[in-house]
């Protein structure tokens, strides 16, 4: 609604790291835009995943962090 504002946008998925996508969206929407790194919080992030592919794993990492019966 009009009383709320978007403070930032985080891109995820396979097309998130497209060249200049975050810059273009930020300029058009006047909101800071960044690309997610789902492995940033890990002590030992996987070394065999190229940084350009990391945003594609956002949903998989999120699901892997769930606990049994987390949905109840």
- For residue range 27-67, list pLDDT tens digits in order: 999 999 999 999 998 888 888 999 889 999 999 988 888 88
**Residue 35 parent element (H or E):** strand 33-35
Look up the pTM and report it.
0.78
Angle at 49 between CA 67 and CA 64, to 5 degrees: 5
pLDDT at 23 over 70: yes
Which of 42, 29, 34 is closest to 17 using CA atoms?
A: 34
């Amino acid at each position: 609604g009009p009383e709320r504002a978007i403070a930032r946008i985080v891109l995820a998925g396979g097309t998130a790291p497209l060249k200049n996508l975050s810059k273009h969206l930020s300029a058009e929407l006047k909101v800071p835009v960044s690309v997610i790194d789902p492995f940033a919080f890990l002590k030992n992030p996987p070394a065999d995943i190229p940084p350009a592919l990391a945003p594609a794993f956002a949903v998989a990492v999120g699901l892997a962090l769930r606990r049994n019966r987390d949905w109840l």
